Amino acid sequence: MNRLSLLIGALLMSAPATAQTQPDWTLVIHGGAGVLERDKMTPEREAAARKGLDAALEAGSKVLAGGGSALDAVEAAVKVLEDDPHFNAGRGAVFTYEGTNELDAAIMDGADRKAGAVAGVTRTKNPIALARKVMEDSPHVMLAGKGADVFSAEKGLEQVGPEWFATDERRQQLEKMKAQKTSWFDVDMKYGTVGAVARDKAGNVAAATSTGGVTGKRWGRVGDSPLIGAGTYADNRACAVSATGAGEFFIREGVAHEICARIRFKGESLQAAADTVMAETRALGGTGGVIVTGPTGEMAWSFNTPGMYRGKVSAGSAKTVAIYGDEQ
C-alpha cells in the first residue's frame, strides 16, 4: 500500500468518529457569574456550590437520557437550583431595598418559540414552574407582580411564605450594601442567578433562567432574566441562551437574542457568537456571562467576570462542574 492509500484509509476511518461528535443530547447550566476567586471563597461554600450544580446536572440529564424534552430538562435543572439556598433564585434569593424577595423567571421552547415569564413574584416556591404555566396555560408571555401571584395560586402551584426565600447571608448582603451606600452592582458581584439550556434527542432546544435579581433593587426593578431576548432565548434555528450578570446592560444589548441572531444570520459558531456579544456587553459596562447550546449539539459558555458557577453534560460524556475562570 502506498502512502496515499494509507492516508485515504486513515481519513475514511476517522469519518464515523467525526459523525459521532454530535451528542444525542446536551445540557449546560449556570449559577451566576461574578468575582469568584479562590481566595474569596471558603471551602464550604465552594463545596456546596459544586454539589448544587452537580445535582442540577443530574436532574436535567435524567430527563434527557430518558428521552424527555429539553423544556422539561431545563425546568428540572433550574428547580434544583431554586431550592438550593446557595444560589440567588427561589430559596436564597437576594433582598430588595425594602427587605423583601421578588423573583423573576423565564422559560422558552426553541421548537415553536413559545415563551413564559414572570417578574416580581413573591409566593411561588418555584418561579420557573410559574413561568412555564404562563407559557402553557395563559394567552400571555409575561405576568408581573400581584397578578402573577394570583395566577400562580389559581393554577395550584405550590405557595410559600416569605420566610421560605429569606436567608441570613442575603440579608447581611443587603445590610452591607446599605451601610456602605454602594450601588447594588458592587455587593460582592456574586450574582448567583441560575439558568439552564438543553438540546434533547429530538433536536429541540430550550432555555430557562430564574433569579432574585440584584441586592437592594427598588421601585419594582426588573432585570434581564425574565425578558425574552435579553436574559433568556431559545430558537431551534440557532441556539438556546441563558444569561447572568448586570441585567441593565444585558437588556440594552439584547444579549440572548443577539447571540442567536449572529448564529442564524452570520453562521457563527456558538462560542464565537457568545464571545462577541459578551465583549460588546462589557464595552457597554456590563459584566456577567452566558451559557449556550444548539441543535448541532455544540455547547458553549462565555463570561467576562473572574468566574461563573457552571456545569455541562452530554450523552456519552461525564458531568463537568466549574467555578473559576481558569477551569475548563
Residues forming the active site: 193
Considering beta carbons, is residue 68 or 247 the nearer one to ligand ASP? 247
Q: Where are the beta strands (DSSP E) in 11-72?
A: 26-34
Minimal distance in Å, beta carbon 71 to ligand ASP? 22
Q: Are 249 and 204 in contact (CB under 8 A)?
A: no
Minimal distance in Å, beta carbon 192 to ligand ASP? 5
Q: Are 128 and 73 in contact (CB under 8 A)?
A: no
Minimal distance in Å, beta carbon 247 to ligand ASP? 2
- Closest-CA residue to 193 (of 284, 308, 73): 308
Minimal distance in Å, beta carbon 230 to ligand ASP? 9
Sheet holding 299-303, edge to edge: 232-235, 239-245, 288-293, 299-303
Q: Measured on CA atoms in the order 190, 251, 273, 60, is the torsion positive or negative?
A: positive
Residue 174 to residue 96: CA distance in whole angstroms: 8
Minimal distance in Å, beta carbon 141 to ligand ASP? 18
**Residue 316 DSSP code:** T
Considering beta carbons, is residue 68 or 231 the nearer one to ligand ASP? 231
Residue 94 to residue 170: CA distance in whole angstroms: 5
Residue 301 to residue 293: CA distance in whole angstroms: 9
In the three-class reduction of DSSP (H, G, I as helix; E, B as strand; rest coil), residue 214 is classed as: coil
Considering beta carbons, is residue 25 or 95 the nearer one to ligand ASP? 95
Residues in contact with ligand ASP by the rule CB under 6 A: 32, 88, 191-193, 211, 213-214, 223-225, 231, 244-245, 247, 288
Strand partners, 116: 107
Minimal distance in Å, beta carbon 225 to ligand ASP? 5
Cell of 250: 444585558
For residue 9, how many other CB atoms are within 10 A of its CB? 11
Contacts by 48-55 with C-beta closer than 8 Å and gap 24+?
A: 48/86, 49/86, 49/87, 49/309, 49/323, 50/321, 50/323, 52/80, 52/81, 52/84, 52/86, 52/87, 53/29, 53/81, 53/309, 53/310, 53/311, 53/321, 54/311, 54/319, 54/321, 55/80, 55/84
